[in-house]
């Protein structure tokens, strides 16, 4: 695999997740409320994920993007474990793997 490919996969994944959360459909908002956050928090999460994608895509911001991305994924993982919604762990695990691979290819 070319060295930059994991970084671009990770940036695309965060961008997709960010847009999905920022749109904030009724189902997404209800999930955030169920997890103990205000309904509008999905937009904050989406904005952070989009910021992570942009930082990872820019060489000067890549380190900060990887750190912020790890914080976002760790926070989401703790939230779903705390709320016992284990079905959300698979996609979060994929993000964690992409973060680890991207960090090692950086």
Using the CB atoms, write b or e for 15-37: b if 16+ within 10 Å: bebbeebbebeeebbebbeeeee
By CB neighbour count within 10 A (0-12 exposed, 13-18 middle, 19+ buried), where does 84 fall?
exposed
Report whether 24 contacts 45 (CB < 8 A).
no
Report whether 33 contacts 65 (CB < 8 A).
no
Q: Which residues of the chain have pLDDT under 70?
A: 1-3, 106
Residue 60: predicted pLDDT: 96
Strands (E) across the chain are located at none
Residue 104: predicted pLDDT: 81
Residue 2: predicted pLDDT: 64
The predicted-structure confidence for 17-43, as pLDDT tens digits, reads as follows 999 999 999 999 999 999 999 999 999
């Amino acid at each position: 695999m070319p060295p930059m490919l994991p970084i671009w996969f990770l940036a695309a994944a965060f961008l997709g997740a960010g847009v999905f959360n920022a749109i904030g459909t009724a189902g997404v908002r209800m999930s955030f409320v169920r997890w103990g956050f205000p309904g509008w928090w999905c937009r904050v999460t989406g904005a952070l994920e989009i910021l992570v994608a942009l930082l990872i895509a820019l060489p000067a911001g890549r380190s900060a993007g990887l750190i912020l991305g790890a914080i976002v994924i760790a926070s989401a993982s703790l939230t779903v474990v705390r709320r016992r919604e284990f079905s959300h762990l698979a996609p979060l695990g994929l993000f964690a793997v992409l973060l680890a691979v991207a960090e090692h290819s950086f």
